[in-house]
Amino acid sequence: MSGAALHPTILREYDIRGVVGETLSVEDARSIGRAFASATAEEKASPRICLGYDGRLSSPDFVAAVEDGMIAAGAEVLRIGRGPTPMLYFAVYHLDADAGLMVTGSHNPPDHNGFKMMRGPRSPKGGPVYGQAILDLGRRIAAGDFASGSGSAADAPVFDAYIDRLLRDIDLKRPLKVAWDPGNGATAETVSAVAARLPGVQRLLNATIDGTFPNHHPDPTVPANLRQLQDAVTGEGLDLGFAFDGDGDRIGVIDGGGEIIWGDQLVALLAREVLQAAPGAPIIADVKASQVLFDEIARLGGQPVMWKTGHSLIKQKMAEMKAPLAGEMSGHIFFADRFYGFDDGLYVALRFLAQVAAGTDKVADLRRSLPQPANTPELRFPCDDTEKFEKVARLDAHLRQAGADVSDVDGVRVTLDKGWWLLRASNTQPVLVARCEAEDDAALTAVRNAMIAALEAVGIDLPQEMRG
């Protein structure tokens, strides 16, 4: 059987994403569903596959096409309905399914969509589907290498069970005043259901699902997207606020003073409780994370591990090392301590709430208890998907020839006397990502200048507005 190849740019390191109507079509979705079910059927005949979708305008058509493809490959499709990606992950465990597929564009613009996939925990290939497995799906589609069968589909709602599971281990020792901003994304209904069961004051913002994202883009790593939440927290005298990305696997946090608690700072704070329960345990963070996090894990008696950026890559490393906690600068945070080891922004929020409620410190004081280095946000600038990895490799070779102290865990991270800088290629967008950190503002200027000089030496131009 011959097939039609997917657009080469949509096969990413840890998921599939494209622009609807340009690089990704409904027919592609049907092929992806059939290919994923065919690959799963090689391990188990007539596999049971959970299927969910987010709140994007294109998602209902895409999920229907995926279902058609899975049925044509002989799968039993369990429709969990609309909701956040972590609810799909939960469903695979809760329903003891063989695999799961989520139709989601995550935090990408409204005209994008895509697919995140996982194998069930009993599978020899259990965990996220990423890397070579995604490329293999592309080859299977191009070759038309599909299983044929008479599958089925049935509704398998898990919303209530998911909310119960999120709250099962959460005991708030004192009521807190909290703002919640799902950004009109797929967590809107789950956030509302959880908030309704919490004590204290719960203030909901943008809590209806709307795939046009009318109030702000659902990406909590961008400060502009957090301004509405900051205004609510400070204007109403709340203790803290939480924001979530479009499909709910990432989190942003605002303290009572309106300051952002970044992903790596949040992991450092969460590690305090986790390492009390698991002394000496490994805790994993991605290469973009502050040195403060790695130093704090060591100070607490844990084993700091720097690893590649990417939710699938982190989850796989976490399972390999049996780490109870892991996190990324981007707000993907993963609990295996009393949870499943996947990234769930709402569960992380509840764990942090419980930790705050167990003490007397204000959230702002917890943030200030960590060292406060000078650093840049993520500096993301355009670079064609066909060139971005080659440019990073060219920079790596140049730096090594110059005798720099380089880590190539993911891109290049260069350690200097008073700080470090990073350049890596995004796995989800046609951009390069840079970041700098130093012990103070003067040192940060020197670190940034060193980075700019190194980039220019290999023909990479950092945009003028990012030069400081």
Neighbours of 319 (CB within 10 A): 17
Q: What span, in angstroms and rounded, lies between the C-alpha atoms of 357 and 363?
A: 10
Cα three-residue angle 269-271-277, rounded to 5 degrees: 135
How is 48-105 classified by DSSP, letter by letter? EEEEEE-S-TTHHHHHHHHHHHHHHTT-EEEEEEES-HHHHHHHHHHTT-SEEEEE--
Q: What six digits make up the tokens of 358?
A: 């167990």
Cα three-residue angle 72-128-12, rounded to 5 degrees: 80
Q: Which of 381, 382, 384, 406 is nearest to 395 (CA)?
A: 406
Q: What six digits make up the tokens of 26?
A: 């409904």
Pairing type for strands 251-255 and 240-244 reads antiparallel
Decide if 47 contacts 78 (C-beta within 8 A). no
Q: What six digits make up the tokens of 341?
A: 């080891």
Pairing type for strands 431-438 and 379-382 reads antiparallel
Q: What span, in angstroms and rounded, lies between the C-alpha atoms of 103 and 453?
A: 42
Tokens 């996939």 found at: 117
> Which of the residues 25, 31, 59, 106 is marked catalytic?
106
Question: CB neighbours of 464 closer than 8 A, spacing ≥ 6?
Answer: none
User: Is 106 one of the annotated active-site residues of the chain?
Assistant: yes
Decide if 217 contacts 297 (C-beta within 8 A). no
Tokens 């973009």 found at: 288
The residues annotated with a catalytic role in the active site are 106
